[in-house]
Structure 1
């Protein structure tokens, strides 16, 4: 049966092979017949029209609702095929006018504080800890791993990420470290055990707070590692014993919002000692986005925003801080997300018991869409090393490899990580 969606696909899909089975059972092929075929099956006619009118939101919703399924390939394959083929000239009128509406809405939201309360954080991070246990590594690292050398396991790559960040942070024994966005506690515990530092971790997730405190207690670290339910914006250095020697933030900056960047870095300046060092690890995109992906905004990360470096660096400078080093990791998160998606799908029945089948499809779409952003949209990870004084860090990068080797030796003496028991 002909539909507006079929017409759009005929225009977009030039290379590759996409077979579409309609609700009436009829099959239509798009593309040049090359590559591995992808076959999708729609179970109601309305689904095709909804996707045509608002593909950015409705493709994910229709899939989540079970109104389409894959007979060959999967959702990542479809997203990658569409992205590989789509040109600006392929934009339809519905895409254009909905995009304009979303630009206007995004600008209005940008005038408001993103994390005025904990709702946005709770929406994602206060999901059942059992869910994250299905696909994360043994240390519950929910951020990009560091696959160096290539081909190592997810567990090895997440350890390499912590080691790489610690090497650039350069903490010394008995120094005081602040972690902004402490997650389930893995980075704070690593720094305390390998570097001999005192760590204060802050989070807005009550679920993560409970898990991280429990983990620190089980490892006998409560005297050196503390976690608090705390908004960075209201922190006072004197309440935590004065300025911190080191500050680290991994995977939290994506929730700050463009309107709050200067406020964030001014707070960093306030909380950091004059000879201090900060490592900021964040997802980045190649240019400022006009608006967020509507599916992710609605279902996954409300209020989140992926920055470009052009949006971040001016506010670092205007806050009286210096960028001592900037490292770009282009494909490491793509590899990380592939591991997560494969692990999650291998245990999807357990995820469905925690929530339902619609949640499983929503989560699969989220992981696949995120992976596609790194493999096909030039997203990347950036790590900024930030100081107040230029000479607070060495004038070359040779020290990083040396510190990583020293940290490997200390890792060998750590007690084995234990999976959280529920």
Structure 2
């Protein structure tokens, strides 16, 4: 079988009814396809079996994570070309969320079914390959129950603080940075984001702040050091909490910052003067979002502010047909669900909040993700040693693909500033946006 690459290319082009945009190098050393395009390297025949047994994004992901499949050349260009295959496009040539072309649907076509049979011969005999060990296994308990949420959070965050240090850099902030200038460093951009949140919340000395999903403690540390607040940070990750407590102790702020391993639904103290939720609400779930908003509303004093920083997806024409990306669900954020920004605003308003400001930061997240990918690639051998090759490959793929998704407006990210107004109706907000100046209560 010295022509496997050509045979795969021919099968792909018959299935697509058009040219296959990537070059292919097969396990037998053969190559086919455009000479200047990124190369899809099929290291083992098993890669093709993975794609055939699980057509679409999950099969591709399993082959990538297992090292059966690789890409040589520009990773972003390759992923962009692959996205052009799996996303339906409109007359403008742009991908349209809600019109994802599942490979499993294509196989229902008699033409592509015949091609799949030919591909099975090329893939060779063998049972369906086992998923790589990095894939999230069966989750126990009702969806988004506290116990199941803790399992999901542990899968993503409890993979080693040393690994995250290599990816995130010294800031240890795992959310969209705020790039005020194109030549800003990642660390400067993350500090700018934390400060922007503090200013929007109008934090002042000795106010109380609750940071929901506090990660490695960067937000509470910034707010306590630069704005003098007393802060509580909560996370479901034991590794994050240990790391954050160490940072708090080293900063001499144990009397002002309390780090807890706690579900947001279990927080019963307060009221707080302000609440920040940065990159946490994606884990809440669509069906529980109203409960999430109502609980945070109850934890705020009248006049208190909530800053909800959250990734959003584009709305689907048929919301009931919405499905979670299988790669993200199995390998990255188990049980994570994205909602359109309009749904988030509606749920906050239904809970009693008055939404006062929405700022879209889509392009900022693309820049952030590209910076994280550079960090990972620059520390690749260390990352592999710390978390394993499969885990490192998961992070590289998901961050690079996510950067493209933000750039191409498949997903976005927004900071929503909401207020629990006083009984009189007063919100304590200035008449116009004062950023970057300090907000006055």
Cα distance in 2 for residues equivalent to 1:6 and 1:65: 25
Per-residue Cα deviation, 1:294-329 (whole angstroms, up to 9, x for no partner): 112111111111221233222212211111111111
Contact 1:285 1:378 in 2 (8 A): yes
Cα distance in 2 for residues equivalent to 1:305 and 1:110: 17
Per-residue Cα deviation, 1:60-101 (whole angstroms, up to 9, x for no partner): 211111112233333x33211122455538936614689xxx
Q: Paired residue for 1:172?
A: 204
CA deviation after TM superposition for structure 1 residue 55, in Å: 2.0
Whether 1:331 and 2:359 are equivalent positions in the alignment is no
Q: Paired residue for 2:33?
A: 29
Q: Alignment RMSD, CA only?
A: 2.7
Cα distance in 2 for residues equivalent to 1:181 and 1:347: 27
Cα distance in 1 for residues equivalent to 2:405 and 2:17: 19
Contact 1:84 1:376 in 2 (8 A): no
Q: Paired residue for 2:155?
A: 123
CA 1:16–1:317: 2 relative to 1, 3 Å: same
Write out aligned runs for 1:9-408 (5 A). Answer: 9=13, 12=16, 17-29=21-33, 37-51=37-51, 53-74=54-75, 76-84=76-84, 86-88=86-88, 91=101, 94-95=104-105, 112-117=143-148, 118-237=150-269, 242-287=270-315, 290-389=322-421, 391-403=426-438
CA deviation after TM superposition for structure 1 residue 377, in Å: 4.3
CA 1:227–1:88: 2 relative to 1, 3 Å: same
CA deviation after TM superposition for structure 1 residue 375, in Å: 2.0
Q: For 1:261, what is the secondary structure of its paired residue? A: helix
TM-score (norm: length of structure 2):
0.81
Deviates more, 1:88-97 or 1:315-324: 88-97
Cα distance in 2 for residues equivalent to 1:313 and 1:373: 22
Deviates more, 1:281-290 or 1:149-158: 281-290
Contact 2:159 2:387 in 1 (8 A): no
Deviates more, 1:133-142 or 1:45-54: 45-54
CA deviation after TM superposition for structure 1 residue 348, in Å: 1.1
CA deviation after TM superposition for structure 1 residue 58, in Å: 1.3
CA 1:188–1:12: 2 relative to 1, 3 Å: farther
Cα distance in 1 for residues equivalent to 2:9 and 2:142: 36
CA deviation after TM superposition for structure 1 residue 196, in Å: 1.1
TM-score (norm: length of structure 1):
0.84
In structure 2, stretches of 5+ residues that fail to align are: 90-99, 109-139
Per-residue Cα deviation, 1:259-288 (whole angstroms, up to 9, x for no partner): 110110110111000110110001111125
Alignment length (residue pairs): 386
Deviates more, 1:257-266 or 1:54-63: 54-63
Contact 1:124 1:300 in 2 (8 A): yes
